[in-house]
Amino acid sequence: MSEFYEGMAEILEVDATEINADYELGEAWDSLAIVSTIALVDEVFDKAIGADTLQECRTVGDIEKAAQAA
């Protein structure tokens, strides 16, 4: 499991085995989760991503794609 997926599991407070690219962010995707994800993306991908971009994401895969494109 990648460091990114493990970090997302921690942020979303779910078991790491549940996280994959298709995982729906749902109700756990709040402002605290977004701020934590900004830090995770910086740590894992060494890239800066904005909160506006992350707010549009609906799945973990969306976040991963946005981070790689940043």
Cβ atoms 31, 52 nearer than 8 A: no
Output DSSP code: residue 24.
B
Q: Which domain holds residue 54?
A: 3-69
**Quick one: residue 55, left, alpha or beta (phi over 0 = left, psi -120 to 50 = alpha)?**
alpha
Amino acid at residue number 50: G
pLDDT tens by residue, 19-64: 999 999 999 999 999 999 999 999 999 999 999 999 999 999 999 9
User: What pLDDT, on a 0 to 100 scale, did the predictor assign at position 70?
Assistant: 86
- Count: domains in the chain: 1
Residue 10 confidence (pLDDT) above 70 = yes
Q: For residue 51, what is the domain's CATH number?
A: 1.10.1200.10
Give the other-Cβ count within 10 Å of 45's Cβ: 15
